[in-house]
Amino acid sequence: MSQMIRPPIVLLKEGTDTSQGLPQLISNINACCAIVDTVRTTLGPRGMDKLVYQSERQVTISNDGATVMKLLDIVHPAARTLVDIAKSQDSEVGDGTTSVVIMAGEFLKAAKPFLEEGIHPQIIIRAFRQACDLAKQKIKELSIEIKPDNMREFLEKCAQTSMNSKLIASHKQFFSKMVVDAVQLLDDNIDLDMIGIKKESGGGLGDSQFIAGAAFKRTFFYAGFEQQPKHIKNPKVLCLNIELELKAEKDNAEIRISDPSKYQSLVNAEWKLFFDKLEAIHASGANVILSRLAIGDLATQFFADKKMFCAGRVPEDDVRRVCRATGAAIQTTVSNIIPEVIGTCDVFEEKQVGSNRYNLFTGCSKTQTATIILRGGGEQFIDEAERSLHDLHMMSEELVNMDLFKYLRDNSSSQLMVKTLLINAFAKALEVIPRQIADNAGFDSTDILNQLRQKHAQGQKWFGVDITNEGICDAYEGSIWEPAVVKLNSVVAATEATCLILSVDETVQNNQSDKPQAGPQIDPRTRQALGRSGAVSQMRGR
């Protein structure tokens, strides 16, 4: 009796494409390496910039890893993991976004030969996680506790280190002092939203201003605005979330009256309610009125007659900063305005900056906010300077990696043979940071790495790449400092991304459910200029 042949069981709908096993793992690694090659040359003080063309009116020039990764619409599902870790690094610590992507790519490249030799991915994952734990332990040992007395110097040096690879590196001393001044004004919560960055074209970077208080660009104004005072000492600041404007009736509004004379009483009642609001504001004693909503021409003229200043449609973040600086509280009604909700400062003034006028609140006794007005020659230049300052608020850049390599290599000798090889591979991958910094500066990276290995083998743990003199230097003596949290976050994020990608051995894609990608297509010539973005990982500007 012949055995019954059972028909195959179909679990996935027709048109579904599956890819699994070692080829899928290798494909994912190759895709990630293609992404890494796109941002690799942006690392370090001599890193190159990337021009990402999105449309004729929207072109971004940047060497910030997170910015470049965000602007590239990466189609390959595994490679999107690198975008996620760059965003995570940017949101957590602000700096090291390029480093974390490059390290993740190097870890994957180190794992590739072992996969091809038949080593199970889970063995590699366990070894890499163990190596990551050792690296974290070593970073904590290398870190130095800074005494409060030296905190100011430490913050400035960290800011300058972070700025070495930025567009504003030529003004690093100027901006590092400015950024540290801003951060030290904040309270213990260190809410970076309380540091406002305004961009004003014209002038040079050296014309940028730091304001220990709040400032915002003059808002839309009505007739009567120029009659209002533009300089007030010890102002009383009232912040509102109220619309002070008479509006026409809405569409389809209907009022039925039996006597036409009653219409005038309705108009009079509306005007009385409006003027009662204005009189209540005036009676509160406030002479600087800010509102998140519109302040119309009638209210503007009223405040001008009373020698009061007003500004409507002030952005929400600016209102919050003014409240934090002056001690005011946002009001949603004008009834019962008590003195405790009115803020104050030494001086309110309207000042010309470039081609625009700014409203400044300075000399605030409760100052827990600051504003930086960035100047520069072009819009793209100022945009990149703003991104650089965001990184500076969080701090940092290079080092530590060579001593991590030595430490991991020394500790791998006590492990099993396969695990020893894997931890050594992880350790060697950490060398990618000094190697890439040297390559981007046009140095002989092989010679630089040999010198670094020799110094670290002799116990001189602070040596790193010397960009200025084309060699190596004691980074501690050279004040190339960074917070340990930057390197900790980089190593952990890169390791977790590597382990995630190595744990995926099958991709299921249902072509019938695919939807067309939204957004403009990037020009083919621009695609070619962006580097390797073809077969393995397609990239489009958003």
Q: What is the pLDDT of residues 379-402, one digit of tens each?
A: 666 776 666 665 554 443 333 445
The verdict on 226 and 360 lying in the same domain is yes
Inter-residue contact 239 to 284 (CB < 8 Å)? no
Q: What is the mean pLDDT of residues 509-520?
A: 49
Domain residues for 217?
Answer: 213-246+266-366
- Lowest-confidence pick of 1-5, 149-153, 165-169: 1-5
| Per-residue confidence (pLDDT) for residue 287, from 0 to 100 | 92
Q: What is the mean pLDDT of residues 363-379?
A: 77
Enter the tokens of residue 19. Answer: 């890819």
CATH number at residue 357: 3.50.7.10
Which of the given ranges, 17-21, 364-368, 503-507, has the highest pLDDT on average? 503-507
Task: Please give the share of the chain, as a percent, with pLDDT higher than 70.
Answer: 76
The verdict on 51 and 97 lying in the same domain is yes
The model's pLDDT over 260-297, given as tens digits with 9 standing for 90+, comes to 777 777 778 878 888 889 999 999 999 999 999 989 88
Inter-residue contact 352 to 367 (CB < 8 Å)? no
The verdict on 535 and 403 lying in the same domain is yes
What domain count does the chain have?
2
Determine phi and psi for 152, rounding to 5 degrees.
-60, -50
179 found inside a domain: no
The verdict on 362 and 226 lying in the same domain is yes
**Amino acid (1-letter code) at residue 293:** L
| Per-residue confidence (pLDDT) for residue 535, from 0 to 100 | 33
The verdict on 358 and 437 lying in the same domain is no
The verdict on 464 and 529 lying in the same domain is yes
The verdict on 326 and 444 lying in the same domain is no
**Amino acid (1-letter code) at residue 66:** A
258 found inside a domain: no
272 found inside a domain: yes
Inter-residue contact 87 to 69 (CB < 8 Å)? yes
Q: What is the mean pLDDT of residues 469-480?
A: 80
**Maximum C-alpha span of the chain:** 108
Q: How many Å separate Cα 145 from the centre of its chain?
A: 26
Enter the tokens of residue 472. Answer: 């190596």
Q: What is the mean pLDDT of the chain?
A: 78
CA atoms within 13 A on the CB side of 101: 33
Residue 364: name the closest of 185, 197, 484 by CA. 185
**Secondary structure (3-state) at 434:** helix
158 found inside a domain: no
Q: Which stretches of 243-344 are DSSP H helices?
A: 261-283, 297-305, 316-326
Q: How far apart are the first and last CA of the chain?
A: 64
The model's pLDDT over 148-159, given as tens digits with 9 standing for 90+, comes to 666 677 677 777
Asked whether residue 519 carries a pLDDT value surpassing 80, the answer given is: no
Q: What is the mean pLDDT of residues 410-429?
A: 76
Enter the tokens of residue 474. Answer: 């004691």
Task: Please give the share of the chain, as a percent, with pLDDT higher than 90.
Answer: 16
498 or 88, higher pLDDT: 498
| Per-residue confidence (pLDDT) for residue 396, from 0 to 100 | 33
Asked whether residue 406 carries a pLDDT value surpassing 60, the answer given is: yes
Residue 214: name the closest of 322, 317, 311 by CA. 322
The verdict on 334 and 220 lying in the same domain is yes
| Per-residue confidence (pLDDT) for residue 504, from 0 to 100 | 83
| Per-residue confidence (pLDDT) for residue 125, from 0 to 100 | 92
| Per-residue confidence (pLDDT) for residue 533, from 0 to 100 | 37
387 found inside a domain: no
In angstroms, the CA 177 to CA 469 distance is 25
- Lowest-confidence pick of 112-116, 209-213, 308-312, 337-341: 209-213
The verdict on 32 and 138 lying in the same domain is yes
The verdict on 284 and 338 lying in the same domain is yes
255 found inside a domain: no
| Per-residue confidence (pLDDT) for residue 414, from 0 to 100 | 52
Between the alpha carbon of residue 277 and those of residues 22, 273, 283, the distances in Å are 73, 6, 10
The verdict on 327 and 241 lying in the same domain is yes
CATH number at residue 444: 1.10.560.10
CA atoms within 13 A on the CB side of 422: 25
Residue 127: name the closest of 406, 493, 422, 498 by CA. 422
Residue 106: name the closest of 338, 365, 425, 319 by CA. 425
Q: What is the mean pLDDT of residues 480-488?
A: 77
362 found inside a domain: yes
Among 345, 366, 387, give the residue marking a domain's end: 366
The verdict on 219 and 289 lying in the same domain is yes
Placement of tokens 């305005």 in the chain: 337
pTM across the whole model: 0.65
Asked whether residue 520 carries a pLDDT value surpassing 60, the answer given is: no
Q: What is the mean pLDDT of residues 57-86?
A: 82
Q: What is the mean pLDDT of residues 14-18?
A: 49
500 found inside a domain: yes
